[in-house]
Structure 1
């Protein structure tokens, strides 16, 4: 799987993502400037990443301006064709603004920027220690959308404590139902607030982020199988 990392004005986690993918996961990475449009070097087996940061200064709403960049028009088309897309932090916000993912990211419930290690888990998996750094990371959706997310297994990650228990005390931003990350219904677009790329190096004493990328790759494989089945039918 080849990765493309989009760089917006204000991106500040693009090189962290490149480093994690290229050196810790041994993946081919191509950096993509926001004014470009060409994604012809990527197949739907590859993945486009929208990194964290403050795209276009986070003026208006976070991700609202980035959604209209030339590259995002191509990313939307890529995702609609079944290509894999990952948005982290500001990238998650952009995906919601682009309507590639449902819901919205609101200001943290305590109205403060949060920057620390948290724990999250996928389903019944073990708690993973992953950093967060955001001021507007509180996931919210209406009841109908939440029902669909739960019914279709689109909630990828939930905030939890060190033992894997989901509770209000382990939720860093007040996200509804402790949701830390979701996918679209097809399973090829993923968004999450925590930063797995900041937890992939043994030198930093935490490699739980590697497990996150394995989980996301698994979701991508399942999405591809679903698409093949739908095409066959």
Structure 2
């Protein structure tokens, strides 16, 4: 006897409308089928509710039962009760194992993510500490009494992709105030890579007004013309008026001045 047929016969069975043969087959089936027996017990619970209102089972009882049964089926369609099915134990175990694996994988991935973030933070902190050490060494060397040490300090700029304001200021001071020509030229060569900085532009203009070394003067003029710094026109005109300005410097200025005036 198929399970669906048993479900169809439950109201008649509980209503006492099955003949002896049908009743015997029905009872034999539910004795062997735990699921069907459970359905019968659940339906009896419905009967008990209805019996409080209707002492004697009638056709109205069957109608109420079928309505309740349809509602129950609809509810079962929304919520899967895996434990009520014969194969549910196996399926439930599989899903539990799958869920456990999923949780384990997720935990591992989260752990790896957090670990990677920690590693990245440690690396970033180490790099920052290293840069601080390099900057301290660089600034210290640039204040050294030895010109060669100051040049060594200036050359430390190669270690910094994006030097901060303190480094730019230290290099500017070497270009403006160092008494050694080689140190000033080295400082200029370091700063010329950062002409997008307003500090560097201002430093070059100030250096042009006070620099006495012709080679450095030419280098600064060429750098200012290259970036088309119009504020450089005024100090260039002053150099033209000075008697001690080298003739070839004046020629250089006359050649480039129209392009930035």
Fold in common (TM above 0.5)? no
More strand by share: 1
Q: TM-score, normalised by structure 1?
A: 0.26
More helix by share: 2
Higher relative contact order structure (alpha carbons within 8 Å, sequence separation ≥ 6):
1
